[in-house]
A and B are shown apart, each in its own frame.
Chain A
């Protein structure tokens, strides 16, 4: 059993939890994920690692209560336990293994969309702790969906917050913000790391391809075991079939077949599930929640 030692409400049904998981906390790195199974009858849910404390032996996860399982997960309180918590899974961020001299020369922009801010957070933190200054965009539909912006400010050199409706920060989606930085503010980036809804990552990649900036994305397909034994999470990257759980979850965004990935994510969307989303998010749910595909 894996005890919840801290629970915090972040925003809009988004929760943060610190889980006591000594083996995972000892060996995990930014970019990796865990799989949580709440109880006997629960499903296996993949969640990216948001933070970790090797001394306290805890791993931080962030999730949005949208589906049947995550809604139940949100009812768990401090002191409760999850039956299963396995990890770290997947490959760690390639930046960690890059030559420090090379990395030092690079201007890196992290782009976080919605709950995707959580997996961006440990990467930005790791960069700062290892002496690299990076910029970070946090984007969401509106103010109440922005999470971890204050925390991110501790680690990123510049944090740019943007909202589609202009209720907080820059008015526009993350692509508008990227264009503003590059075209109007004279920023130059050698690498973009974009994590968020698939539709957001797709459109960021279309833009960065135009701008000629290499881009890394973190894919979030349907998973079952998370250890490479089933292929539920397979994607096409550069024309080859890859399993996101073992070959990723991070890939070269300019090589990912996003349209296929989006279709595969719909596989178990039931009528009931759509109804829940419709009620919560209005008509916007169809384009992945942030509205950036409208523009």
Chain B
């Protein structure tokens, strides 16, 4: 097949009408032939700009050149030197604002599909049982990693490769953090992708202890003094949901997106043979415009509801990835833009019966440069819904910082840590990911985990 160098090789997807009724992955990915074709579009730049756009600086031209040659195994080992979770990142990174935004091909035509190629390589490696390479010997030092999300898994993986004895402590019953409880099956399959990437980290020698809540089951100070750990990395994320504080918010049928997604993704409430229930709803309003809002909306749709996204700014300001908004629209999600909730209406039994909203218009730009939405007086109306999902963002859980002597946080309860090496205000304790930055992206958390692994290595080598 002749490749048009200006256009990317299209990726196969499930038909929107079919996928709106199932939880199977939407994007089917490249096969080998398509991947090799797409790889030929890469110019193999010497000073590759794409690498600077990647928070973990994967050597993109090198792995793509191996794909071009058809040597997928070698391509996988190149990626593995930089990333512990390529099958995840290839799927959920906002490549359009990272690696692909810097691609030279993107100036005249479409950027090379770096994310889809990374995903293909990682999927191929899994299907062919290729594992990352383990450290040859241990250095006798122990590091504890708190949280098994992207930051923790990356930090643990890098430290294990450097010869450390690493144990991850996870509060939930499954490892993966937001990869397990947050991002839905139809974007990130749990068994084939998440579980197997976690297995790859374990294959490097990392131990994972689930059901341990640091700050309750044990503390960081006890890990350092009683359990013999030489350093600790905190990658506990930003899992505390925000609510609006409007009337009716405690009614039955109002959920945080975290609860709704945890029930569906982690507890598999969408499957009949799992015990956890979920209130599907007939008509659902999702408040918010981020990726989490898209995930919650598309989940509710698959559970059989008519779904409205209620967002107070316009389409241009939607913080969600363009691809996700596009997918949501294709599936039939209704966007009520420039619309803001005023109150939730409740029936006599305590259930949601509607949401009163007001129309908004965009005013002058605020300090952040975004145009501030202001209410249009007298434009209130009611949307009849039986379920409301609040997706207004999250902040770090104060449990760890409040139970660790000397670990300082800023006014948003984010742990204060050096961006370069993850160093916190407490000796031997490092931190990274959403626990430090507040809710951000998977790949930024991985970058922070990587930087902290380097920081911990330097600290322990000089100790």
Chain A residues near B (Cβ < 8 Å):
23-24, 26-27, 37, 41-44, 68-69, 83-89, 224-225, 227-232, 234-236, 241, 246, 260, 263-264, 266-268, 270
14 A-B pairs with CB atoms under 8 Å apart are A27-B218, A42-B275, A43-B275, A84-B210, A84-B211, A86-B173, A87-B217, A227-B239, A228-B397, A230-B241, A231-B256, A236-B250, A241-B245, A267-B252
Q: Check B127 for interface membership: any CB of A closer than 8 A.
A: no
Least distance between A161 CB and chain B CB atoms (Å): 34
Which chain A residue shows the least CB distance to B394? A229
Q: Check B350 for interface membership: any CB of A closer than 8 A.
A: yes
Q: Check B334 for interface membership: any CB of A closer than 8 A.
A: no
A27/B349 contact (C-beta < 8 A), A229-B239, A268-B277 known: no
Least distance between B244 CB and chain A CB atoms (Å): 11
Least distance between B339 CB and chain A CB atoms (Å): 23
Given A44-B276, A89-B213, A227-B172, 10 more pairs with CB closer than 8 A: A24-B217, A41-B274, A43-B267, A69-B275, A228-B397, A229-B397, A231-B258, A234-B243, A246-B399, A264-B350
Q: Which of B217, B245, B273 has the most CB of A within 10 A?
A: B217
Q: Do the beta carbons of B276 and A43 come within 8 Å of each other? A: yes
Least distance between B140 CB and chain A CB atoms (Å): 25
Q: Check B279 for interface membership: any CB of A closer than 8 A.
A: yes
A227/B258 contact (C-beta < 8 A), A69-B275, A263-B350, A264-B350 known: no
Chain B 242-280: CB-based contact to A (< 8 A → 1; otherwise 0):
010100011011011011001100011000011111010
Q: Do the beta carbons of B262 and A224 come within 8 Å of each other? A: yes
Q: Do the beta carbons of A225 and B243 come within 8 Å of each other? A: no
Tell me the complex Cα distance, A125–B277, Å: 36
Least distance between A246 CB and chain B CB atoms (Å): 7
Contacts of B218 in A (CB 8 A): 23, 26-27
Which chain A residue shows the least CB distance to B260? A230
Least distance between B319 CB and chain A CB atoms (Å): 20
Contacts of A84 in B (CB 8 A): 173, 210-211
Q: Check B93 for interface membership: any CB of A closer than 8 A.
A: no
Chain B residues near A (Cβ < 8 Å):
171-173, 210-213, 216-218, 239-241, 243, 245, 249-250, 252-253, 255-256, 258-259, 262-263, 267-268, 273-277, 279, 349-350, 394, 397, 399
Q: Do the beta carbons of B274 and A86 come within 8 Å of each other? A: no
A260/B211 contact (C-beta < 8 A), A41-B274, A88-B217, A227-B397 known: no
Q: Do the beta carbons of A264 and B250 come within 8 Å of each other? A: yes
Q: Do the beta carbons of A231 and B217 come within 8 Å of each other? A: no
Q: Do the beta carbons of A263 and B349 come within 8 Å of each other? A: yes
Closest 8 CB pairs of A and B: A263-B350, A230-B259, A229-B239, A86-B211, A84-B173, A43-B275, A43-B276, A23-B217
Give the contacting residue for A264; candidates B173, B212, B216, B252; CB below 8 A: B252
Least distance between B105 CB and chain A CB atoms (Å): 41
Contacts of B210 in A (CB 8 A): 84
A230/B258 contact (C-beta < 8 A), A86-B217, A87-B217, A263-B350 known: yes
Q: Which of B171, B216, B240 has the most CB of A within 10 A?
A: B216
Give the contacting residue for B243; candidates A231, A232, A235, A264; CB below 8 A: A231
Q: Do the beta carbons of B213 and A224 come within 8 Å of each other? A: no
Q: Do the beta carbons of A224 and B211 come within 8 Å of each other? A: no
Contacts of A232 in B (CB 8 A): 255-256, 259
Which chain A residue shows the least CB distance to B182? A229
A229/B262 contact (C-beta < 8 A), A86-B171, A86-B213, A263-B252 known: yes
Q: Which of A41, A88, A224 has the most CB of B within 10 A?
A: A224
Contacts of B256 in A (CB 8 A): 230-232
Give the contacting residue for B250; candidates A85, A86, A246, A260; CB below 8 A: A260
Least distance between A210 CB and chain B CB atoms (Å): 27
Least distance between B123 CB and chain A CB atoms (Å): 25
Q: Do the beta carbons of A231 and B259 come within 8 Å of each other? A: yes
Contacts of A246 in B (CB 8 A): 399
Tell me the complex Cα distance, A193–B250, Å: 26
Contacts of A24 in B (CB 8 A): 217
Least distance between B294 CB and chain A CB atoms (Å): 19
Q: Do the beta carbons of B399 and A229 come within 8 Å of each other? A: no
Q: Do the beta carbons of A260 and B258 come within 8 Å of each other? A: no
Contacts of A266 in B (CB 8 A): 252, 349-350
Least distance between B459 CB and chain A CB atoms (Å): 27
Tell me the complex Cα distance, A270–B267, Å: 19
A27/B262 contact (C-beta < 8 A), A84-B211, A229-B240 known: no
Least distance between A249 CB and chain B CB atoms (Å): 13
Which chain A residue shows the least CB distance to B268? A41
Least distance between A2 CB and chain B CB atoms (Å): 8
Least distance between A90 CB and chain B CB atoms (Å): 8
Contacts of A264 in B (CB 8 A): 250, 252, 350
Give the contacting residue for A37; candidates B173, B239, B245, B255; CB below 8 A: B173
